[in-house]
Amino acid sequence: MSHEDYRIRELPSEMWKQEQEIFARWRDRQIPFASDGHFVEDGIVHFPTYERTSPKLLFLLKEPNDKKRNKWNLAEWLGKGAYRTETSGYKSWEVVARWVHDITEADTHALPWNELERRIGQNSINERSAEFRKIAVVNMKKSGGGGNTNMSLLYPEIEQTKSLILDQIRLYKPTIVVCGGTFGVYRSRIASENDTPRNTRRGVSWYFSESVGIPIVDYPHYSYYPHLSPAIKPAMHYGLVDAVREILDLRKK
């Protein structure tokens, strides 16, 4: 199945076309920073599933983890379950899949932590795929980097593409944006917003971004979690789940 068929099947392709227009402009603007033309597309993993999911989650990250700068598509890779590749952090993405499950389905399909960890684990490709199809993922920088972002390379590039980052987020109309280590960069470098962040009851920072019209949540990058002790992992998992629920409840009032 081609990438286009995979993502827009059963849904009119207007949003996909708008996304491709954004990517075309993005490729032009990143030429001075990625002369080899390396560009990893991202975005909504599966349009029909995303459209019927509530709440709609968008994860905002820094850059693809791909020092070898291979030709691939992040959205398609996630839709296939984030299978293992030479450069991918596939073990870390299961953390995101568990967050998505508990934020979007816990009210009706709640699982004890041990069962959730077992069901959506390293070998659960189908289960991970089902969760990833509900979300959108946006990298601030589309050309490959390493596990630790070189901020001296990131900042000049996003200065040229920040309007496109905002355009891409607005296009998908998410209910909430979860920043994976990108909260400060988003506020200061992209949206240029200085509103004082609020804290949830459990101390998670967030604020309402006027630039995109939705709440933005600050949380550590998912790659930290596989290295945590088993005793801490549930607390970090439910920390984000509870924060998103609290913020969305506040937005309803």
Q: What is the number of other CB atoms lying within 10 angstroms of the CB of residue 74?
A: 22
Domain ranges of the chain: 3-252
User: 98 in helix, strand or coil?
Assistant: helix
Let me know if 50 is exposed, middle or buried by CB neighbors in 10 A (0-12, 13-18, 19+).
buried
Question: Among residues 124, 91, 127, which one has the least CA distance to residue 109?
Answer: 127
Q: What is the number of other CB atoms lying within 10 angstroms of the CB of residue 54?
A: 11
Q: How far apart are CA 132 and CA 118, in angstroms?
A: 17
**pLDDT of 109-131, one tens digit each?**
778 999 998 899 877 889 999 99
Q: Which fold has domain 3-252?
A: Uracil-DNA Glycosylase, subunit E (3.40.470)
Q: How far apart are CA 253 and CA 180, in angstroms?
A: 27
- Residues comprising the chain, all counted: 253
Full-model pTM: 0.91
Cα 122 off chain centre by: 19
**pLDDT of 30-85, one tens digit each?**
877 777 888 999 999 999 999 999 999 999 999 988 777 778 899 999 998 887 65
